């Protein structure tokens, strides 16, 4: 277990070309000991590259990797004592399940008693105990992935367990249980867990801290609540949450208000220093409500459709060319075709050039 520090890291897969393209743009980050981190982002945004840099499978073009303030940039994977689980199950198909789980310990010359004890403990957690003597290749895909995971967890002293979309091949029920297991393991052993995913729900429910990436950039690092309520860029607003954040092109109106079409919307943001170009207003559909007795921040809209999702209704409305989505209670009855929607000022985010003000 260790504090992991990435200092001015950047990476290019073609560093010697005239115009190298960067899979990761320069960034610095610290992963605290014993915490759970999720790296979230669309495919090809550099998530896996970042993990491989930490585990040593990829040497960064620039920058340093530090474990507990020791520079490990030039150490090979074997010497870093790190565990990594890949998206697809990787098992040693010629070995039994027990030997698979014992392999990382045997490579490090642990005593047989210790191996026995650790394998038993991990296989109990992952419910693999009944398969220990079976050839690993005879197991189903999700059981194989449990073996991969088990090999990551069997060493108690790893600096961190890195997981690259590990639950993709596992069915939803087991996925839920495993996520809880991983949390328990993290709480019990204080292992730093880093979890790459493109599934925001997975990230939100699993991690203490979420790192959102896009096109080799780290866009935002924060608590799930911050990411949801105050996305730092329009990308985060769009990527996190379902449906995506409502975003409107707007004009500045006063020091704290903007205009959508002809309607003035007040915000809690100081807009006095902004230039009036490329301004957007963002608000989560969760916070857009059907107006009751509010007197300002109201938009008159035409309802396009109302979808019932069981636990909520999703209302899609139009105001001129703008589409607005709102999550409303199931009980809310709407009789008119034209209604007023209320935007609470404290929930409105203002963006200039797609960055939060």
Partner 1 sequence: MEKLYKFLKYTFIILWTVFIVAPFLWAVSTSFKDFQSVNSKVTYIPWLDFEPTLEGWRVLVKSPARGGVDIVEPYFNSIFVTCTASLISIILGTLAAYALSRFTFKAGFVRNNDITFFFISQRIMPPIVLSIPFFIFLSTIGLLDSLLGLVVVYIVLLMPIAVWIMVDFFNRVPKELDETALIDGCNPYQAFYKVVLPNSIPGLIVAGMFCIIFGWIDFFFAFILTFTEVQLLPVKVVALNSSITPWWSLSASALISVAPLIIVAFVVERYLSKGNLSGALK
- Where does this chain bind partner 1 (CB under 8 A)? 55-57, 76-78, 81-84, 86, 88-95, 103-104, 107-108, 137, 141, 148, 151
CB of 155 to partner 1, least distance (A): 8
- β-pairing, 279-283 with 289-290? unpaired
Residue placing its CB nearer to partner 1 in the complex, 39 or 91: 91
Residue placing its CB nearer to partner 1 in the complex, 192 or 200: 192
What's the rounded Cα separation, in Å, for the pair 318 and 296?
A: 19
- β-pairing, 298-308 with 349-352? unpaired
Question: CB count, 10 Å around CB of 277?
Answer: 9
Residue placing its CB nearer to partner 1 in the complex, 121 or 304: 121
Residue placing its CB nearer to partner 1 in the complex, 77 or 353: 77
CB of 210 to partner 1, least distance (A): 24
Of the candidates 123, 121, 127, the one whose C-alpha atom is nearest the C-alpha of residue 188 is 121
CB of 213 to partner 1, least distance (A): 21
Residue placing its CB nearer to partner 1 in the complex, 95 or 274: 95
CB of 99 to partner 1, least distance (A): 11
From residue 130, give the alpha-carbon distance in Å to each of 148, 163, 211.
17, 25, 37
CB of 264 to partner 1, least distance (A): 56
Packed helices 141-153 and 112-125: angle between N→C axes, nearest 10 degrees: 130
């Amino acid at each position: 277990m260790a504090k992991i520090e990435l200092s001015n890291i950047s990476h290019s897969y073609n560093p010697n070309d005239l115009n190298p393209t960067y899979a990761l743009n320069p960034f610095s980050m610290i992963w605290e000991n014993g915490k759970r981190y999720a790296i979230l982002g669309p495919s090809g945004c550099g998530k896996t590259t970042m993990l491989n840099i930490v585990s040593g499978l990829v040497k960064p073009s620039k920058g340093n990797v530090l474990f507990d303030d020791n520079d490990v940039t030039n150490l090979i994977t074997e010497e870093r004592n790190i565990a990594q689980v890949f998206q697809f199950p990787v098992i040693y198909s010629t070995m039994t399940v027990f030997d698979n789980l014992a392999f990382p310990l045997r490579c490090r010359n642990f005593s047989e008693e210790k191996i026995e004890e650790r394998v038993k403990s991990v296989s109990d957690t992952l419910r693999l105990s009944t398969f220990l003597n079976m050839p690993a290749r005879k197991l189903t895909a999700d059981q194989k992935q449990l073996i991969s995971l088990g090999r990551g967890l069997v060493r108690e002293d790893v600096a961190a367990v890195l997981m690259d979309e590990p639950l993709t091949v596992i069915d939803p029920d087991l996925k839920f249980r495993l996520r809880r297991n991983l949390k328990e393991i993290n709480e019990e052993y204080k292992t730093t867990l880093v979890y790459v995913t493109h599934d925001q729900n997975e990230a939100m429910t699993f991690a203490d801290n979420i790192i959102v990436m896009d096109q080799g950039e780290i866009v935002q690092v924060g608590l799930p609540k911050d990411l949801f309520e105050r996305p730092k860029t329009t990308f985060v607003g769009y990527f996190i949450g379902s449906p995506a954040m409502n975003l409107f092109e707007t004009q500045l109106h006063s020091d704290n208000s903007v205009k959508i079409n002809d309607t003035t919307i007040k915000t809690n943001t100081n807009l006095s220093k902004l230039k009036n170009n490329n301004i957007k207003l963002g608000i989560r559909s969760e916070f857009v409500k059907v107006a009751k007795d509010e007197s300002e921040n109201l938009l008159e809209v035409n309802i396009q459709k109302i979808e019932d999702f069981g636990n909520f209704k999703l209302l899609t409305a139009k105001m001129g060319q703008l589409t607005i989505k709102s999550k409303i209670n199931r009980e809310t009855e709407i009789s008119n075709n034209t209604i007023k929607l209320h935007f609470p000022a404290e929930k409105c985010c203002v963006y200039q050039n797609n960055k939060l003000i």
